[in-house]
Structure 1
Amino acid sequence: MNSLALLHKLVGFDTTSRLSNLALIGFVQDYLAGFGITSQLVEDATGTKANLYATIGPTDRGGIMLAGHTDVVPVDGQHWQSEPFTLDIRDGRAYGRGSADMKGFIAAVLAAVPALAGANLSMPVHIALTYDEEIGCIGVRRLLDVLGGLPVLPVMGIVGEPTTLRVIAAHKGKTAFRVSVRGHEGHSSNPLAGVNAVEYAAELITFIRKLARERQQNGPFDPLYEVPYTTLHVGTVRGGTALNIIPAECVFDFEIRHLPEDPPDALIAAIRQFAAQTLEPAMQAVAADTGISFTERSTYPGLCTPPDAAVVRFVQGLLGDDTAPGKIAFGTEGGLFAERCGIPTVVCGPGDIAQAHQPDEWLALDQLAACDAMLANLVQQLTQ
């Protein structure tokens, strides 16, 4: 099958993160087996999801890892002109959930398998497919536990997130927290008799916003990013039951997307300190059972591959493009491959991130063809 036919198959599997990805993984496993390639599955704790890792070529040396996540974001509440999980070709574009993010890259990788399997490779090509990337790079961590125990690791990795096939050597890291504010309920006619959880949450949100403004004004800065500084963002707030009741609970989520050279530890410590030393004493002076708690929801490191690294030069060579590598604000599994297993990694794949997560998500067919050409060059480069 060519890459477009494979993309039809892959989009047809509804692998929204809340669902199992085993049907897709089973399809890939059977497809690879048809070329004599065995796959190792690394399941989640429930056995309803799995990562896949397969090696094509010699197993006694490092090789090139081609990595992608199999899960997609929900289509709930979005208005689509076509069925999201049936690929629709219109005007030179392939429409479907995951077409750009990032089943297009996976389809191109699978389309290259017959050539890879038939070649006398000087070094292996590893295929790494993961689950639950969209909800915090969860599945890849179990895969990394296995990779860390292998006698030979890949010498470089390509994560095929949509970059319009531009080589990306760095991206921001992310940490997300849920904050639970426990107040003390009472009648709104006497605010002093209660502890208003919503108002204390608002004070903490205002403090987070103050930190965000400081980073925006004072940096540190990296002009190669579209947003050249670390950002803080509050995304959801829920609290209160009725207007005439002092709210006893308020919960909000915030995230920090940080430059790789600006780790979030000091910001997190400042937020916790403001809660513990400024807000909680005032709350507990009214009711001892009040307080503020923090729960880490997800975290992944930034990626910071040197622009002159071998993996950068190698992928530039595959593309025939020596343009300096770029930097992106959105996160990938690349930072984890680099940090946990020491695999020098770049991000490079077909499609535009602007289409990701959108209704009528699409991948330009010429981008898919260009990715096919890049991988054909990979086969040629590795053939003895």
Structure 2
Amino acid sequence: MNMKTEEILAHLVAFPSVVGQPNGNIVGWIQNYLESHGVDVAVLMGPEGDRANLFASIGPKDRSGIILSGHMDVVPANEDGWFTDPFVLRTESGKLYGRGASDMKGFLACVLASVPNLSTASLTRPIHLSFSYDEEAGCRGVPHLIKRLPQLCAEPEGCIVGEPSGMRAIRAHKGKAAARIEVHGRSGHSSRPDQGLNAIHAMTAVLSEAVRQAESLAAGPFDSNFEPAYSSLQIGVIKGGQAVNIIPDICTADIEARSISGVNPAELLMPVKAAVESLARLGFRTSWELLSQYPALSLSADSRLALLLHDLTGTEPLAAVSYGTEAGLFQAAGIEAIICGPGDIARAHRANEYMELAELTACQRMIEDLGKKLSV
């Protein structure tokens, strides 16, 4: 079944594959589409048991090739301001509106629309398709796929992660680690604070340490390729308490750190974790849960992959961006990685997210030109 790119995108957008939810429907549709073109597909169930990664190969799997990587999940579409149903693709004036149109089902649609061309291109080196789950929760799905790669194909030469970049390749991004803190105290009437343990009061010591750490990171080290040029830390969520006259017995907070290249983002959280653990001596019970973690990406300007993308796009790759992707995980596994995809990250995670038809055309052309290079 040969389908136009926008037709495929309409099918993909119609699946409400929200992060953290079962994704069997979208995986099954993609699997059926690929297999209808004779493509070898592996559905790789994650440890959650209700969602899966998908990996497929076109061309000889025993030779080194290129991975085209993207995620199937999207963030929820709960924002005010949607003109129409976010899970029904709407086309208007050359723009295609829908949740995930830019981040990043547009790229997936381009890859799938290129399959009929690639499958008849007599590739001498393979193109692999790596479609993951729960990227929006901190790249939770793709590590399970990466672990399976040695059983699925020869060591890949490189990986193109199709996050929205305006079809300009990007060589580096920051790393990230996020953690959830829980502080458990003892409830009681606010008139007798001596008989309780105020979890919110205890959490303030932890939050103060987080603020101190954030301020210290702003003093360097620096990498001028990023904006801001330093690693950062922030408190993103805090919850606790029932009423003003009840001693709160539980308080939770979510924090994250984003690191420049060469810095382990999880290590940036360690002073805060130490502050949490110190509460035990005051009688509080605490927990620390690492929610997500992925490393920074750093690809040299003269690498084979960067030169390849320069050739394919006709544009010098951008040095760095501050948001993160799965590319850092591929690089950490020994596979050179770079970002390049249609759309704009500024359109993502907001009402009336859209992709321009011209961007899809440019991306599909890049993928098919890659196929020509791997057929030589």
TM-score, normalised to structure 1's length?
A: 0.93
Q: Which residue of 1 aligns with 2:59?
A: 57
* 1: CA distance, partners of 2:313 / 2:266: 38
Q: Secondary structure at the match of 1:327?
A: coil
Consecutive unaligned residues of structure 1, counting only runs of 5 or more, are none
Q: Check whether the contact 1:220–1:262 (CA below 8 A) recurs between aligned residues.
A: no
More divergent stretch after superposition (119-128 vs 26-35): 26-35
Q: Which residue of 2 aligns with 1:293?
A: 287
Overall identity of the aligned pairs, in % = 39
Q: Check whether the contact 2:266–2:293 (CA below 8 A) recurs between aligned residues.
A: no
TM-score, normalised to structure 2's length?
A: 0.95
Q: Which residue of 1 aligns with 2:123?
A: 121
Matches within 5 A, 1:1-384: 1-150=3-152, 152-216=154-218, 218-277=219-278, 279-281=279-281, 284=282, 288=283, 290-321=284-315, 323-340=316-333, 342-384=334-376
* 2: CA distance, partners of 1:43 / 1:79: 35
* 2: CA distance, partners of 1:49 / 1:181: 31
Consecutive unaligned residues of structure 2, counting only runs of 5 or more, are none
Q: Secondary structure at the match of 1:25?
A: helix
What amino acid sits opposite 2:321 in the alignment? I
Per-residue deviation at 1:20?
Answer: 2.3
Per-residue deviation at 1:17?
Answer: 1.6
More divergent stretch after superposition (194-203 vs 157-166): 194-203
* 1: CA distance, partners of 2:59 / 2:280: 60
What amino acid sits opposite 2:201 in the alignment? E
More divergent stretch after superposition (264-273 vs 305-314): 264-273
Q: Secondary structure at the match of 1:113?
A: helix
Q: Check whether the contact 2:171–2:339 (CA below 8 A) recurs between aligned residues.
A: yes
Q: Matched residue pairs, number? A: 374
* 2: CA distance, partners of 1:124 / 1:316: 20
Q: Secondary structure at the match of 1:235?
A: strand
Per-residue deviation at 1:60?
Answer: 2.0
Q: Secondary structure at the match of 1:148?
A: helix
What amino acid sits opposite 1:244 in the alignment? N
* 2: CA distance, partners of 1:151 / 1:41: 14
Q: CA RMSD in A?
A: 1.7
Q: 1:54 to 1:182 in 2, by over 3 A?
A: same
* 1: CA distance, partners of 2:84 / 2:30: 25
* 2: CA distance, partners of 1:302 / 1:360: 30
What amino acid sits opposite 1:292 in the alignment? T
What amino acid sits opposite 2:255 in the alignment? F
Q: 1:330 to 1:27 in 2, by over 3 A?
A: same
What amino acid sits opposite 2:235 in the alignment? V
Per-residue deviation at 1:54?
Answer: 0.9
Per-residue deviation at 1:28?
Answer: 1.5
What amino acid sits opposite 1:97 in the alignment? R
Q: Secondary structure at the match of 2:165?
A: coil
Per-residue deviation at 1:185?
Answer: 2.2
* 1: CA distance, partners of 2:222 / 2:168: 22
Q: Deviations over 1:310-353 (max 9, x none)?
A: 111111111112x243312221111111212x110001100000
Q: Deviations over 1:186-242 (max 9, x none)?
A: 3222434432211221221122011111111x1111121122211111111111111
* 2: CA distance, partners of 1:27 / 1:273: 47
Per-residue deviation at 1:265?
Answer: 4.6
* 2: CA distance, partners of 1:298 / 1:182: 23
Q: Secondary structure at the match of 1:375?
A: helix
What amino acid sits opposite 1:238 in the alignment? K
Q: Deviations over 1:52-71 (max 9, x none)?
A: 11111122211011010001
More divergent stretch after superposition (364-373 vs 158-167): 364-373
Per-residue deviation at 1:274?
Answer: 2.8
Per-residue deviation at 1:126?
Answer: 0.5
* 2: CA distance, partners of 1:58 / 1:66: 16
Q: Secondary structure at the match of 2:75?
A: coil
* 1: CA distance, partners of 2:307 / 2:165: 17
Q: Deviations over 1:228-265 (max 9, x none)?
A: 21111111111111111221111111111111212235
Q: 1:48 to 1:280 in 2, by over 3 A?
A: closer
What amino acid sits opposite 2:103 in the alignment? D
* 1: CA distance, partners of 2:280 / 2:32: 57
